[in-house]
Amino acid sequence: MKLTKILMATSALTLSAGTAFAEAHSGESPVAGEPMADSMTLVSWGGAYQNSQQQAYVEPYLEMNPDVSVTWDERSAEAVANLRAMFEAGNVTWDLVDVVAADAIRLCDEGLAMEVDHDEILAPAPDGTDASDDFGDLIVSDCFIPQIAYSTTFGYRTDVEEWGGETPSDICAIFDLETFPGQRALERRPINNMEWALLCDGVPKDEIYDVLETEEGQQRAFDKLDTIKDQVTWWNAGADTPQLLADGEVVMGSTYNGRLFSLIVEQDQPVEMLWDAQVYDLDGWIIPADLPEERLNRVLDFLWFATDTQRLADQAAYISYGPARESSAPLVGEHAELGIDMAPHMPTNPDNASNTFVYNYEWWADYRDDLDAQFQAWLAQ
Amino acid sequence: MSDVVDNPANAMKQDRSLLSFAVPLTALLGAILGFVGGQAVNQPLAGFIGGAIVGGAIAYVAGTVLADQRTTGRWAAVGVCAVIGLIAGGIAGIVSGILAGAVLGWVGYWLASGDYRRGVPPYSTSGQVLWHNTFLFICGLIFFFLIAPIMVIIPLSFNAENFFTFTPEMLSLDPEGYSLKHYRDFFNNSDWQLAMRNSLIIAPFATLIAVSLGTLAAIGLSQSDIPGRQAIMAILISPMIVPLIISATGMFFFYSALGNWLEANLGFSQELSGYIKVILAHGALGVPFVIITVTATLVGFDKSLTRASANLGAGPVRTFFKVQMPLILPGVISGGLFAFITSFDEVVVVLFVGAAAQKTLPWQMFIGLREQISPTILAVATILVCISIALLTTVELLRRRSEKMRGMSPG
């Protein structure tokens, strides 16, 4: 898959990076000088991720534009449902919404997100490369403005006595209750869980989605999940697993790699990463369709700044997610407060990416509704 | 009591009942406490036996040697248990030891001196005494289950970690385990400050609307000649009965249209119309509480007073403010308090009707719990609990004072 290739290239660049660029000059936004609204509502996910956005580009932007105010709304998890309701009521209060790639595709299909010309509204790379080439294949939809690549992966506690010194080294430790007893945390949805179940039931990686398409294949995945169902705590929000791990309520659990980075490195908890079979995904902005002109101008002015090469690289100093621009990769440096090198914590680092799984959102777009229903029914059994 | 002890036969009986009743019961309690305490240091059995011995000894001493020096005896129990706790579990052990000693000392004297019969008439059977004390115990449990969940958050809000966890440092009462950083975060974080400001803007205005409309409605509905009184009443209190999520969905569409109209025709900014929408919605939610409390006070209001006032030449408005209002004021105030708390605590409607610029404290707490489990929420919760207690106490004191000034007895 092309996505992996780009991500790999990105990480290779990260490692070879030695020279720091001077503050890249990204020029003026295409709407400079036009009338703009003086407030913006940004929608994001809260937590460490929203903090990285705040530090890397919202605060610098507000310093440059002191008369602008930004309000955060932490409802990205329900962005699709909320935007639908807002459009029905004719009262869209959001200006820029941070969503995962799959949600961006859905919103774009429904006409709730604005289609954009990436080369026109986004800054080119410092060497003059067009934005669409710089972002490359990560532009998975005409409405989607990528920011970061992240992965869903596992963390485990390092102080579990029952494990007798053993530590999980591959994904199938999740299903191994004999060697690794204890509660596990998994996300309360079929995506990723079904794939991991089949992978550990002996299905080769490149046949997973073919198997999952059949009813027997789905049953096979549920049967595998059945073997650990009693030992699973189901999570809904990205913050749940870090809390559960810190409490010792679970001994291992899946969540976004940036949350685990924050738990391990910043909060110094006795937890380690299990990078095996990590699942890549993308996250980025969409602009709600039909914004009034002044608000749209403000959003475009902000976007030009917030997605340029330097700003995306800056974001990686606050959270271990890979910047979506190829040209940002060489600029990724050290953690803003701890001063540690961020590259080894990126999901795309070769040591971490020895075995990765590429999540097929096109496949899931077709099967999601059906499998969601089956999954909820299975949970209730 | 003294005449009982004077009689040697009674004293003998007292002594026997001490050995067969107070000592074993206190020993049992001591064993339970010792078991729980021992569990913490992985010695449940030793704790169980040690607790039983200490409990029995306390009760025996309380019934014999130190029977008349109750204070000394209880301090001695506290001291003994604190020393045992120190040996078993360090600083945390002392604290639990002091608590256990206080409980055992109290129970030992309570049983040994016969105080457990004090709340019932002297002729009661042991069954009646047992029931009386069981009843008190159940009442205590009810209070415990009401209050304990709220109390847990208070120490947790001083956690030095970013998780909802009692860390080992906290449990051993190490100052390192505690910090005020979540309180600092609350006062420095612009999101929380915005939420605090919004709550303090929205709740008072919503209360004002609810109190004025609710009081007038209650007075009107108290007239017996209003047609369809029951139906009007039912409609007015419906926001309290209909599930909130249904009201909120309806309000979302209704107030969106209202907001669009305000912005398009009156030129209101999006922010201002957002506040108006939330204030109106919260006002509507608060009206039923005011109606119910004011209606209740109006039941005791003597209608002939208004006629007397009219007879003396006062108009209806003057009568309302000078005669009726002072008498129903307690009902109005408690209704207003309910309306204020409703708006202050409300999260569903504001999530539907408001935009992010109107986010209130409960909104921020709700979103915070979902997306970034942060003990700042507990710090805010602790502050809110203190505010609620202060508010209720103040209002209650004011009410008593005004009643005293008007020569009415409280209640």
Contact B357 A46 (CB under 8 A): no
Nearest to A42 by CA among A357, A308, A299, A324: A299
Contact B371 A48 (CB under 8 A): no
Q: How far apart are CA B65 and CA A257, in angstroms?
A: 67
Q: If you average pLDDT over every residue of chain B, what do you get?
A: 84
Q: Which of A41, A47, A85 sits opposite B356 (nearest CB)?
A: A41
pLDDT at B406: 63
Does residue A148 carry a pLDDT above 70?
A: yes
Q: How far is A247 from chain B (nearest CA, A)?
A: 6
Binning pLDDT at 50, 70 and 90, where does residue B54 land? confident
Q: Say which DSSP state B195 is in.
A: H
Q: What does the buried/exposed string (b/e) look like for A5-44 if buried means 16 or more CB atoms within 10 Å of the residue's CB?
A: ebbeebbebbeebeeeeeebebeebebeeeebbebbbbbb
pTM of the predicted structure, to 2 decimals: 0.75
Same domain, B90 and B214: no
Report the chain A residue with the minimal C-alpha distance to residue B355. A93
Q: How far apart are CA B330 and CA B344, in angstroms?
A: 21
Question: Is B57 part of a structural domain of the chain?
Answer: yes
Same domain, B193 and B111: no
Could you please report the per-residue DSSP string of A203-239? --GGGHHHHHHSHHHHHHHHHHHHTTGGGEEEE-STT
pLDDT at B67: 75
Q: How far apart are CA A37 and CA A39, in angstroms?
A: 6
Which domains are seen in chain A, by residue range? 2-150+282-345 (3.40.190.10)
Contact between residue A357 and residue A279 where contact means Cβ atoms under 8 Å apart: yes
Contact B359 A73 (CB under 8 A): yes
Q: Would the CA dihedral through B104, B106, B109, B110 be positive or negative?
A: negative
Q: If you average pLDDT over every residue of chain A, what do you get?
A: 85
Contact between residue A195 and residue A224 where contact means Cβ atoms under 8 Å apart: no
Contact between residue A211 and residue A198 where contact means Cβ atoms under 8 Å apart: yes
Question: Is B184 part of a structural domain of the chain?
Answer: no
Mutate to test the interface with B, among A71, A267, A294 (most CBs of B within 10 A): A71
Higher-pLDDT residue of B212, B36: B212
Same domain, B228 and B370: yes
Tell me which chain A residues have a C-beta less than 8 angstroms from the C-beta of B164.
243, 247
Tell me which chain A residues have a C-beta less than 8 angstroms from the C-beta of B194.
71
Q: How far apart are CA A15 and CA A353, in angstroms?
A: 14
Same domain, B92 and B197: no
Helices (H), A277-327: 293-306, 309-315
Question: Is B133 part of a structural domain of the chain?
Answer: no
Helices (H), B64-125: 70-112
Sequence-distant (6+) residues with CB within 8 A of B397 are none
Strand partners for A40: A70
Same domain, B216 and B362: yes
Q: How far apart are CA A278 and CA A87, in angstroms?
A: 36
Q: Is B407 exposed, middle or buried (0-12, 13-18, 19+ CB in 10 A)?
A: exposed
Question: Is B143 part of a structural domain of the chain?
Answer: no
Same domain, B336 and B230: yes
Question: Is B134 part of a structural domain of the chain?
Answer: no
Last residue of a domain, one of B60, B88, B118: B118
In this structure, of A14-28, B60-74, B140-154, the range with the lowest mean pLDDT score is A14-28
Q: Which of B161, B356, B372 sits opposite A239 (nearest CB)?
A: B372
In 10 A of CB B403, how many CB atoms? 15
Last residue of a domain, one of B91, B118, B145: B118
Q: Which of B164, B256, B271 sits opposite A89 (nearest CB)?
A: B256
Instruction: Tell me what the mean pLDDT of segment A70-86 comes to.
Output: 88
Phi, psi dihedral angles at B268 (to 5 degrees) = -70, 150
Same domain, B84 and B225: no
Q: Which of B191, B274, B371 sits opposite A239 (nearest CB)?
A: B371
Tell me which chain A residues have a C-beta less than 8 angstroms from the C-beta of B260.
90-91
Q: How far apart are CA A278 and CA A271, in angstroms?
A: 17
Q: How far is A90 from chain B (nearest CA, A)?
A: 7
Residues of B with a Cβ under 8 Å from any A Cβ are: 161-165, 191, 194, 252-253, 256-257, 259-260, 270-271, 274, 355-357, 359, 367-368, 370-373
Same domain, B262 and B366: yes
Question: Is B167 part of a structural domain of the chain?
Answer: no
Contact A71 B357 (CB under 8 A): yes
Last residue of a domain, one of B69, B97, B118: B118
Instruction: Tell me what the mean pLDDT of segment A48-69 comes to.
Output: 91
Q: Which domain holds residue B114?
A: 2-118
Contact A236 B372 (CB under 8 A): no
Contact A237 B370 (CB under 8 A): yes
Say how many domains are in chain B: 2
Helix (H) or strand (E) holding A60: helix A59-64
Same domain, B51 and B194: no
Q: What would the pLDDT profile of A351-361 be if each residue is shown by its tens digit?
A: 787 888 878 87
Question: Is B316 part of a structural domain of the chain?
Answer: yes
CATH number of the domain to which B273 belongs: 1.10.3720.10
Q: What would the pLDDT profile of A8-37 be if each residue is shown by its tens digit?
A: 545 444 444 433 443 444 577 788 888 898
Contact B191 A72 (CB under 8 A): yes
In this structure, of A274-278, B115-119, B390-394, the range with the lowest mean pLDDT score is B115-119
How many Å is the Cα radius of gyration of chain B? 30
Question: Is B272 part of a structural domain of the chain?
Answer: yes
Tell me which chain B residues have a C-beta less than 8 angstroms from the C-beta of A270.
none
